[in-house]
Amino acid sequence: MNKALITLDNLSIGYGSQPILSGISLSLARGSFTAILGVNGSGKSTLLKTVLGLLPPVSGRIDTRSAGAPLVFGYVPQSVQFDPIYLLTGFDVALMGVYGRVRPGRFLPPVERAFTRECLRAAGAEEFARKRFAELSGGQKQRVLIARALATRPDVLVLDEPTAGVDREATDAVLEFISQIRKEGKITVLLVTHDIAAVRHHTEQVIWLHEGKVFHGAAHELLTAERMAEMFATVVG
């Protein structure tokens, strides 16, 4: 069994001293593919920001270190908008992923540019490298943003509703690609989504936030009609 890469121990999350979810205890293994489900306002973004280190926990412990070193997160947001006055290409956007390894004021070494091209190629976005990012379709932009996240050389790939507003064909293509790179690169994937059908098909584990409760388990067990009815009955009861 793979060793736990992220551990949440009796974690309470929220803003300031006010928790919105408490008692979260679970572990995510290296190389796992986990979906976070829940309606708007259930706490998905708060949990995501806490795992990323953008919000401190209200209480409890979160361990996101590997062999004593902080984990590297590659983040893919729902969408990114750049002012059209900036003539950024797909390559320019993907190249942003390497900036964290280059000291301010230093030129980007050729090896980083070459690696960015490899990430674009891996994401199926090589043909968009010279095109203006603002003119790409939603699915094409998401592939460039995935390439940018891969360029960080991440331990964990975090995707916040990456296929929102994207048609079913493009959604399946993006998630199929994510599944592939996870297996090939042993990258841990954390996916926020509302797409239960996609979760059933692609992910291994589910963290479901519902009415202040946190349910965690294997996707094939948690997403059965019987188990979902049981979870909702527990909340209502």
DSSP helix, strand, coil percent of the chain (3-state; round to 5):
40, 30, 30
Please check whether residue 223 lies inside any domain of the structure.
Answer: no
Please check whether residue 227 lies inside any domain of the structure.
Answer: no
* DSSP reduced 3-state for 187: coil
Look at residue 9 and tell me whether its pLDDT is greater than 90. Answer: yes
Please check whether residue 15 lies inside any domain of the structure.
Answer: no
Q: How many CB atoms lie within 10 A of CB 210?
A: 17
Residue 80's identity, in one-letter code, is V
What pLDDT is recorded for position 113?
A: 95
What is d(CA 157, CA 34) in angstroms, rounded to the nearest whole number? 11
Q: Count Cβ neighbours within 10 Å for each residue of 105-118 and write b for 16 or more, e otherwise.
A: eeeeeeebeebbbe
Percent of the chain at pLDDT exceeding 90: 46
pLDDT band, residue 37 (cuts 50/70/90): very high
- For residue range 106-124, list pLDDT tens digits in order: 788 899 999 999 999 988 8
The residue segments making up the domain with residue 128 are 81-154
- For residue range 75-94, list pLDDT tens digits in order: 988 766 666 667 899 999 99
pTM summary value: 0.84
pLDDT band, residue 64 (cuts 50/70/90): confident
Please check whether residue 66 lies inside any domain of the structure.
Answer: no
What pLDDT is recorded for position 181?
A: 83
Please check whether residue 76 lies inside any domain of the structure.
Answer: no
Report, as an integer, the average pLDDT of 58-82: 83
Please check whether residue 119 lies inside any domain of the structure.
Answer: yes
Please check whether residue 183 lies inside any domain of the structure.
Answer: no
The total number of structural domains in the chain stands at 1
Please check whether residue 131 lies inside any domain of the structure.
Answer: yes
What pLDDT is recorded for position 62?
A: 92
